[in-house]
Structure formats: C-alpha cells, structure tokens
Structure 1
Amino acid sequence: MDTKIKILVAGDVRGNFRQLFQRVENINKKAGPFEILLCVGEFFGTVEQNEALSAYKNGNKHVPVPTYILGPCSKETQTFYTELEDGEICSNLTYLGKRGLYTLSSGVKIVYLSGIEKPDSIKANDDSSRLYFDKEDILSIRNSCVMSKTSASDYKGVDILLTSQWPYGLAEDSKTASKLISFLCKEIKPRYHFCGFNGKYYEAAPFRIPSDKLTQLELCTRFIALADVGNEAKEKYIYALSLTPVEKMRVLDLIQKTTNEIKCPFIGTNFRDITVRGEGFDNKQYFYDMEARGDGSRKRGGRGGGHRHDKRPKIMNIDQEKCWFCLSSPEVEKHLVISIGENFYLALAKGPINEFHVLIMSITHIASASLLTDHDWQELTKFKQALREFFKSQEQVVCFTERHYKSSHLQINALGIDEGYAWKIKHAFEDKAEEFNLQFETLPELTSSQMLPQQGPYFVAELPDNSTLITRQMKHFPLHFARDVFCSENLLNCEEKVDWKDCKLDKDEEVEMVKSFRKMFAKYDFTL
C-alpha cells in the first residue's frame, strides 16, 4: 500500500488568489489529488486585491484544494485577520493561527510559525505584537513536538516546518533572518523547512542536524524558500512533494546519507542568548506540571500530535499557549484534570451540570474526533469504556456528545444520568431537535473516526443504547444544544444550568469535586 502523501506549498500570495488557485487546480488535475495546500509568507494583498476573495466567499468560485495560510508579517496586512475568530475564511480556506503543531490523519506532522521575530523595540502591550513571535513561542512549539518523548532514541523529528521568515545561517542578509527560527529548526529537526517573505526561490542542498540530548539520530533537513505568486522573474512559487510520514519511516531510511549534503548551517551559531534562561529549554522541563495534583506521579504523555486531518481538515485559529484545553498550555486549569493517558486526558467539566459531568480531551491540539488515527481512537474507546463501567457502578448510564462547530479543540462531554432516566434520553434529543428545527440521522454504535464526517462541522451524541445521533446541519447551530437536552424539563429538569457560565464553581469546590471523582474512578482508570 502506498503511504506517500501529496502536499503543495506556495510562497507569498500577496493577493494573487485567482492565479494561485488556477495553477493549483491545474496541478491537481494532472498530478493529484493533493491532500493539502500550505501557504507561507504574506497571503493578503491590498484592499482592492483582497476583494477577489469575495467570489470564493459567496460560492461563485471554489478553492480547489484545502488551503491553510500563515498569519500577517506586516501592520498593513494584520487588519485582514481581525475577523477570523474561528480561522475559516471561506470553504476550503483557513487561517492556521500564530503557531502550532498538527498531524494529518495520514500521520504527516506539520509545525507552523506565523509572523516575524519580535524586535527589541516592540513593547509587550504593543497593538502590533500579534505580528511577532518570541522565545516563548519557540519554546511552546518545541515542547509540543517533544513532550511525549522520554528517551534519546524516541524522537524522529517532524515532517514539515512552515515559517514566513528565513532562519539565520541560510539567508544572505542576516538582518532579515531569525536566530529563533534557526534554533527551532535545530531543536525539532524537520525533514522539510519551507519559508517565503524574501521574494525569491532558493533550495539548499540537504543538511544533517547533529544528534543531541533529545535524539541520537542525525536527521536530515531540506530548506526551500519560495518566490511570490505571479512574480515577474517567473521564479518558482509552488512546490509539490510526496512523502511518507516520519513516524512510518524506518530509522535506516531517515539516517541514510546522500552525496550532495552540506554542513549544517546552524553549527557554530551562538544560541546562548536564547538559552540564557536554561530552564526554559531544559529537556527535563518540557512536560506540563501536574505536581499540584497532590496524589503522586501519573503517566505523562501525548504523542506530539495536534491535528489529525483528512480530505478537508478543519483547523481553527490556534494559539496553543492560549488554548484552554492543550495540556501543555499555561491557560489549562490543571486542577480540573482527573486522569492522563497517552493521547487523551479526563477532566471535570467547567461549570458542570452535576458532579458526574466530565470531559475527554486530546492532550495536544486536535480539532475533532473525525481526525483521529486508529491508534488514537483505540485509546479514546478505552476512556469511554472505563467511564461506562464506572457510571454503571454508580447505577447510572453515560451519554457522550461532541460539537465540532466553533470549537477549536476536541472535547467530548460525558454526563452520567440515573439509570431510571435512560429511556428518556433519546426522546429528549428528538424533542430539542424538533424545537430547533434540526434533522438528525441515527447510526449504529460509533466504532471508528471514519464514521464521522471527514469534512466540515458536525454534532454527534452517543446514547446509552449504543445508537448514535448525528447532524451536519450546523448553520446557526445552538452552542448549548447538548446542555439544552440534558437540562430540559423532561430529563434532568434544571434549565437554569443550560449556560455553563451560570454553573461555575469556586476553585476549592472544583478541587474537591475532582478529588472525589478521581477516588471513585480509580478502580476503572487504566492509566494508573
């Protein structure tokens, strides 16, 4: 079976949307299908040029391949990103966000970093600070890539690194290059590093990054800079590659040397100013801190994944440092965490409906369950089965719901309901569906991510009788729909709890509720 994945990468578009998408459509017909198109550098142009997107937004024109863009590199273009709250510009066109790591369903690992390196003259509260990345951004990405790797032979690098700015050591003009990007490349060891922003095409000979504390492997990187779309010099602005995901490659293939390799351009570069606060980049420090849990050490994991994608990956505006649910993020309220597996963790719901309302969430940034690999799905199933057995011991049944709509991180709500009410649950969903004029399809037991829509948003509910309700009718979908159902008069009769904000607890109450649930759940917790 052919495991190679076809991907397109384009340089700065600068408002030349029609030219880019026409070229992509032709390439896709001749050599496709391509799974994804990635754009580095500036995507938007002038106000007048950007009006050409209207035809794609209103459906008169179609973006031929799922396309993902980086953020702004100038104050002039940052204004075009202000309304992209959920990342989606139009069908098949999405803004990735400031930085992140995600994995296609095929296993291809892609790291992205928007903008340019923050000058010392820019203050932290400057309105244009969204244009810039700094040491903390590099640390966050680096940690996301390596957080699950605990031995020197475990880390094999990532497949693709996307940046707009060039790394220091490869650019002719060192003033326009970034030493932080060089450091990031050295640390995460991408097989391909694409960038733009310099207006020219340049492909360096492969270079091998030396082994370090993280891995004993000397991994090879290919650096490729792309010209602007439609440039007058007709330099190359689009690059097609076909690759096998790094995690599916043999080590011998990864370390096999070629005859035209050059010396690693980062050797001899002084990164002391980056690592002066050594604790930030110490390999022993990149795991999230769960010591506050007070119940001893637990398994710490995550496969450095992020998003798993299929034909049209749904990627939202992602800033992992600000994500409430990425476990490595400082925004996560870690006192809510109940249990941690390899790729998922269990936590008390914020503003719970009752003391048996919990969430199953991916440790790293994955948008939805439809994007999970088979390996991920197996662990998710183990969490669900453990909860079913636990709730049964409490004379309850459990209902799992997922809303993949205006939510950037995979969240599966699990709510325990008294067994005597089990027969009411499906009727409650049907009543609310009728109230909101929604059409649901009934499926058998959900046993694979392939049973979920591979493109676009959806809502799914797994009922205690093992049937599954699903809808893709998501335009103006009520965000509190699941809570509307559970809190309805003919089920739990607590309609005052429909909005989670009205159910928020004090931190001390949350801590006690987590402690209680963890103690009761321990017998069924396979991660212990």
Structure 2
Amino acid sequence: MSSKLIVLGSVNGQFAAAFKKLGALHAKNQFACCIATGNLFGEDGDGNDDDDDDELAQLLAGQIEVPVTTYFTVGTRPFPARIASRLEAAAQSDDGEGNEICPNLHYLGKRSVTKTAEGLRIVALGGLLVDNDGAASADGVVRAGPSTDACLPFHSVADETSLRGAHGADILLTAIWPRGILKGSAQTVFPEGSGLDPSRVIPASDGLADLVVALRPRYHVTASPDVFGSEGGDGPPTTTKTTTTTFFYEREAFFHPERPDASHSLAIDVTRFLSLAAWGNAAKAKALYAFALSREAPTLVPAGCTPSPFLGRSDASGHASGHGPRKRRQPLEAEPYSRFAQDQHHGGGGGRGRHGKRSRRNPSPPPGPDRCFFCLSNPNLPTHMVASIGDDAYLATAKGPLPLPTTFAAQGLTAPGAADGHSEDRAGFPGHMIIVPLSHAPTITAGAMHSNDPSAAADNGQVTAANTFREMTRFRESLQAMVASRTRQQLGTVTWEISRQRNVHVHWQLVPVPAPLVVGGLVEAAFRVEAAHLQLPPLVEDTSTAPKDGEAYVPIEGDYFRVWIWGEAAGQEGDGPSEDKIVGKTLVMHLDEGARFDLQYGRRVVAKLLGLEATRTVWQECSQTEAEEEADVAAFRAAFEPWDFTQEA
C-alpha cells in the first residue's frame, strides 16, 4: 500500500495561484497530503505589499481554498504578525483546532514530530541554525533554543540533537540543507559557469546531517534559497541581495548502512533528498513534486542509488536519541562488501521497516541472477568495471577500493609507459580486484550444483566446481605474478574468501601488500591478532591445492573464511629465479553455521597493514566517480594484459 504526496516550494504569499494549481493536481491524483517547504508567507514589513496582504487576508477569511491537507513549518524569515497572532491564539484555545491557520492548512511547529491521519510520520525542524542555544539579539528577544518563539526563523543545535530521539521518519522537513549532502552525487546544483559554490551559498548544518543519519527518513524535503550572500567570504550565507537565482535539486537516492543491532531482514533504509524551487519562479524550475510513498521498506536498492553521503557520521548518531552516552558499534556483522554497492544482500545496508522494527516473518527470497550485482546477466550491472571474463569466472576492479590509485605507484603498480615502460605519465591503479564465479550461488560447490552445464547433474557438480575453482585460482595466480613482476617483487598479495551458505554470490577479493610484510610473517600475524581481538575462531593452515584437470573439487566443509597470503622475496643482484624465494600460505577459519561474523574482517586487517584504517576501512567511504573507475580499470587492463590468459588463442 502507498500514499500519494505532493511537495510545494516556497509560496511566498502567492496563495491564489499556488493553491489553484494544487487543487487541479489534487483532483486528478487525490493526494493524502501536501508538504509546503520554505517560506509559505510573504514578507511582513512596511505595509507596501498590498497584493500579499490582500491574499493573506483572503486566505485567513476562507476566500482562498486550500484543496488538500497541507503541512508547513517556519522557513527562513519570520511569520507575518497576523499569522503569529493566530498561532498564539490557537495554542491557547481549547477548541481542538490546534495549529490550524485555516481549513486544511496546519502548522507543524518549529520543532515537531507529527503522525498524520494516514499514518505518515513527519519530523519538522524550521528556521536557520543559530550557533549558541538561547542566543539573544540586541533587543533581548530569544532567537533559538527549545523554548523560543515558534514563529521566529531560527533553531539551535539543541533542537537538532533532540529530534534524533524521534526514531525514524517518513518525511523530514527542514528549512536548510544537511551539510555534505552533495558528497558522492553526480547531480550538479548550479549550471556550469554560474560562479556559484553550493557549499558557500546554501545554508547547511552538520547537526542536520547527523539527524538524517539517526532518522533515516524516506524523504528529506526542503526549499531552495533564491537569494544568496556575496561569495568570497568565509562567513555563513546571508540574505544580502547580491546574486539571485532559483533552482530545483533532486539528489540520487542513497542507502544507509545496516544498523548495528540489525538481524537478518532484507529490508533496507533508503533516503531521497529534494530541494524545491520557489513557486512562480521566472526560470520555471520545479516547484511542485509528487510521489507515491510506499508503506513497506524496500528490499532492493533502487537503480542509480549511492551510498549515504553521511557514512563518516555513522557513529555520531549513535543509533540513539542523543540522551546519554552513545554505545560503540560492535564489530560483528558489519556491512558486507558489495562490489557494485547496489544490493542489500551484498552489503547495500539498511534493514529496518517504517517503524524501525525488523520483520523476521516471510523474508523476501534472495535476489536471482537478474537482480544480483555480481551476475553478468543483471541488466543493471556496471560493466565498465569488468576487466576480464573467462569460461567459469570473471575478474573486475572493486567498488570503493581499499588502496588509492597512487598507493602503489612508486613501487611500479602502474599501466605500461608509452614507450619504455618508465614514462612519468603512467597511470596508477589501486590493484584491489575481485574474482567472481559466473554461477550464481553462495559457495563454489553450490555454484556447480546450479550450473547450466549438463554434465553437472551426472557428476554431482564436482567437475563444474573443480573447473570454477581452478579458473578462479588461475586468475589469482596471474594477478600475483603481475603484481610481483611489475613491482620488482616489492609487493605481494592477500586474497580472501567468505564462504557461507547464506551468502548470495561467493567471490574472492585481492589486494596488494608490501612483500616484506608477507615474507616476515607480519601479514599472517595481523590476521591472527585481529581474529583474537574480535574473538573469532582460530585460523588453521590449509595445505590443499587446486584440483588438476579431471580431478574433483574437494570443498572445505561448512562455513569458513579463507585467506591466501603470497609474496616473493626479492633476490640479490644476479640471482636467478628460485622457488625458495616464494612465500605462500593459506589459512582457514571455520565458522559455526549461523554465527555472527565480521564481514569486513579481511579488509580491516589489510587496511591496518597499509596504514589506511583511519580513512579507508569502510568501502562506502571510498566511492569514486564513474570516470575514475573507468580510468582505474583501463590502467589495470593495460598492466595485466601479458598475464591475461583469457586472451590466449
């Protein structure tokens, strides 16, 4: 079941035209309600705005009809005196009308949580941010804080913090933007060449960013400012009329990471951010936006969705109300890795329904190949990251890579130079790769059982499993050889696999590491120390080898974590190749079925080894533009070409 809603930009007192248009749309769509953003009323000042005064009088007299239940909060300027007086009188009356300005027009309050008759939960916070709680102007009028005048266009940090206790919202209505909302977005706010910098001219707040993290609203709606302060200063935006424009902005939807106390529901939390242009603007930018709000939490991340731009603030919200100390997020069952950052089963995030509760009943089935973001048959697959495709597996660059393109450039992990291989303009690449079986299954053995190969049924899938494991191993060994050769044995590799029956699509991840860390045993020690720190099962050495042609694949029983540690010690000048210089070890951690496991364990260990744990442990915080991803895969393909066995005749 869903409800149709419509959002309206700043009306600025143009009630007759705005509500006439709203009425025409409502007649066709039957909206549950309207959310009016920004400044609903015109300026109340010197008495020269006769048209605005007339329309306000007509509205209050019931001569201008509000066609559908409409909710609003204070914008960025004070309410007209007549509205303030009416609200004050309504607050003191006992007739049950509350904050109704006129039929169908309801004031939500400056800071409020409202549940509508349709069951929609609206959290509102009006006004601009004032730095100090309870700050007073020279005339002694309190401008902010929980006990301030509800009609003044200011709120405090305390107001922002207190609303975190609302525990979820369908609609978050604010007068300003959350700071950082543009991070990870490909949508531009202003036309190129406008000279306007959104971070300088659009009022924004860190506290609102934390509020979005805490509430995870379905929609966050606000009004775009149409008057900006002069650029060039470091102070906050003002209302000085130096540059005037208006705009509509819709950010790509973004998904939130899984909550720290989440169980295994397939529901995810997705937020859409809208900033409406003012009604009647000359540029005809969008001032009305209608949508259907589903009552059910989605189980698939929408196409084009990005990770939350506020991931660095995950702990700031504390999953709580801000009352009392925040609990440290537990490391177990962190968000799993997702190459394409598009599907909750691979780590898209979220996981709570509209009322913040997990549903364990009748969970949705895991996505099939057409919706799995590791399957080449998925039409939404970002194929620009696929580097090489074999008969049973493929190789791709990782989404949100752990290393930067420059991390290993000095060691030689770069594309070949134009001429001699030592060109200064060679392109570096992160080297974080994934190796993925073509079969859609949680484990390699299960992948064989579901293979389209007719021979799989006859041999119980073991031959197909052997072929898949063998080709994945061949990709891994080719990558190891490429890394060692191009870096003159300065780098080794770490490859890890998480094999669990409740996975969706098994895959391996490979990341280069300094070879001395491998040869000196520090990589192995790091995995063991982190396992002990997280109270995970012990790692045991695995001496099995990949099956040869014609041999059956003998899988490791049960769920497990496996890591291949490989490096080649650089020989002395004049030394020839020697098997003694190669250091390789495979470690396996057996996992109890259904036990919680930190799915970022492998990445976390390698991040610490590379000294990147402070900034690049969480893959969602390492997002790149599509152009950057394409540059990385192009550089990798050029470097890997001599080792790419799929190109052999």
Q: TM-score category by the smaller chain?
A: 0.3 to 0.5
- Indicate the structure (1 or 2) with the bigger Cα radius of gyration: 2
- Larger RCO: 1 or 2 (CA < 8 Å, sep 6+): 1
